[in-house]
Amino acid sequence: MSPHAGPGRLCASPWRRAATLAVAGVLAAGVLAACGGGGGNNSSGGSTSIVVSHGYTDVEAKALQDAANTWNQQNPDKKVTLQFNGGNDSALQKTLAGFTAGNFPDVAYEYGSSAAQLARQPKLVDLTDKVKDPSVDWNDFFLSGREAAMVDGKVVGVPALIDNLSLVYNKKMFADAGVAPPTPDWTWADFRAAAKKLTDPSTRTYGWAYVNDGSEDTVWRYLAMLWQAGGELLNADNTAPAFDSAAGKAALQQLYDMGVVDKSVYLDNGNGNYLNLFNSGKIAMLWTGPWDLSSINSDISYGVTYLPGYNGNHQTISGPDLYMLFDHSTAQSNAAFDFVTWLTSAKEHIKFAIATGDLPLRTSETKLPEYQTFLKKFPAEKVFVANLNNVKHVRPNIPQYAEVSSAIGTMVQSVLLGKSSPDDALSQASSQVTSALAGS
């Protein structure tokens, strides 16, 4: 399972990436040896070696190893050694444990939600000036990746994975119900009406599914709706809540109307059963990303389109991951930067995308001839790539994000369960977020 669920992907879905923040400060002593140290300099030959820590499995692990092998053949004086960290869910804890033990890697694959935590580490390599080198072509990375790599005005990492939420729907269920399929211009009202028509309580069939365990998975979709309605999660300097607004209420009201009034939403408890139900024709629509596509049965005819919008705004959300660099020596830091920027270059990353189904990191990848090979192998991902242009925000890179997320998750959960009105839930969550940002 992965930030793309399904075989050959990473270890956890992107909405769970914030969960590691809450426990990052509590590290078991037994973990300290789990994260291997950096490479070093070979004094006899003058070569440099670096360690790259990652949580990839299956096809992604193979693709990364193939890339490292190619790099090592072409750069024998800058050898890369890959080290499996046990899974990306534990990447932050193991990296922090490595600082304590003095055996941290030169490069670590980290969830974007970990950036604020790691940005405070004195061993972090500040990439702000490095990415200005024209050869890096920093602005070629999709906006969401660049914004996820920024903390307090500094570039703290290089985009490693970019994704987004789109609307995936069962074509047969729409046809059987006599409902016109979704279009890129769908409104929230269109979405609600279709979900209601696709719901049949007698057969326990639902129009839509929402993971409602209060986790970041619950928060993930609400944020897209908040942004579509013109709202913001926090104020401009991330010191106060901003979601207790007309936009915040509009998004919660839509969830209340669909979940409580229409009862057209299957509330998943976080066990991922929504995919089984989608495969069995019991759920017509999902808001999900490319990570779930490989888990959809081959006999299911499905389509992908943009999220339904609010007043023409179809913003979505992305959960970018990063390669973050840590300083053992100038030579190693330079070698690490050279490797990471090579690995994420358009020419190299499109090979990785073709091997794994991960979306392109750069706009220029979509202009390469190999991009057509990618689309031929993964035709459903064409919409996800186009939908990257609808990513206008990323979640705030602040140390308190886990606490903010927890408050929002509880807010949404209570509304979908019918335990709180949108107004009451907003007020309660706003108070909690205010306390979290104040450090109380």
Do residues 156 and 171 both lie within one domain?
A: no
- For residue 150, name the pLDDT band (cuts at 50, 70, 90): very high
Do residues 357 and 311 both lie within one domain?
A: no
Between CA 338 and CA 361 the distance in angstroms is: 17
Do residues 65 and 93 both lie within one domain?
A: yes
Residue 28 clears pLDDT 90, i.e. is over it: no
pLDDT recorded at residue 88: 67
Alpha helices in 110-215 (DSSP H): 115-118, 143-148, 171-177, 188-197
Question: Which position has the higher pLDDT, 268 or 13?
Answer: 268
Do residues 345 and 295 both lie within one domain?
A: no
Mean of pLDDT values over 263-272: 95
Do residues 146 and 67 both lie within one domain?
A: yes
Do residues 301 and 413 both lie within one domain?
A: yes
Mean of pLDDT values over 300-310: 98
Q: Which residues contact 356 (CB under 8 A, 6 or more apart)?
A: 8, 9, 59, 60, 63
Q: Which of 390, 408, 428 is the last residue of a domain?
A: 390
Q: What is the CATH number of the domain that holds 29?
A: 3.40.190.10
Do 35 and 43 contact (CB within 8 A), yes or no?
no
Q: What are phi and psi of 110, to 5 degrees?
A: -130, 150
Do residues 93 and 177 both lie within one domain?
A: no
Q: Report helix, strand or coil for 328.
A: coil
Q: Which residues contact 107 (CB under 8 A, 6 or more apart)?
A: 50, 51, 52, 53, 323, 324, 325, 326, 336, 339, 340
In total, how many domains does the chain have?
2
Do residues 262 and 278 both lie within one domain?
A: yes
At 375-427, the pLDDT tens digits run: 999 999 999 999 999 999 989 999 999 999 999 999 999 999 999 999 999 99
DSSP 126: P
The reply to whether 62 falls in a domain is yes
- The whole-chain average pLDDT of the chain stands at 90
Residue 435 clears pLDDT 70, i.e. is over it: yes
Between CA 318 and CA 148 the distance in angstroms is: 9
The reply to whether 4 falls in a domain is no
Q: Which residues contact 211 (CB under 8 A, 6 or more apart)?
A: 15, 217, 218, 268, 269, 270, 274
Share of the chain above pLDDT 90, in %: 82
The reply to whether 355 falls in a domain is yes
The reply to whether 125 falls in a domain is yes
Do residues 249 and 333 both lie within one domain?
A: no
Between CA 116 and CA 342 the distance in angstroms is: 25
Mean of pLDDT values over 61-67: 97
Do residues 285 and 350 both lie within one domain?
A: no
The reply to whether 120 falls in a domain is yes
Q: Are strands 150-151 and 154-155 parallel, antiparallel or unpaired?
A: antiparallel
Between CA 414 and CA 326 the distance in angstroms is: 41
The reply to whether 349 falls in a domain is yes
Q: Which of 19-33, 85-99, 156-170, 232-246 has the lowest mean pLDDT?
A: 19-33
pLDDT recorded at residue 42: 46
* Dihedral (CA of 186, 287, 233, 406) sign: positive
Angle at which helices 330-343 and 346-356 cross, to 10°:
60
pLDDT recorded at residue 41: 59
Do residues 409 and 323 both lie within one domain?
A: no
Q: Report helix, strand or coil for 186.
A: coil
Residue 139 clears pLDDT 80, i.e. is over it: yes
pLDDT recorded at residue 102: 85
Do residues 347 and 381 both lie within one domain?
A: yes
User: pTM of the predicted model, to two decimals?
Assistant: 0.89
pLDDT recorded at residue 94: 83
Mean of pLDDT values over 73-80: 97
At 242-261, the pLDDT tens digits run: 999 999 999 999 999 999 99
- What domain range is 294 assigned to? 166-317+400-438
The reply to whether 5 falls in a domain is no
The reply to whether 6 falls in a domain is no
Q: Are strands 206-211 and 283-288 parallel, antiparallel or unpaired?
A: parallel
Between CA 155 and CA 117 the distance in angstroms is: 14
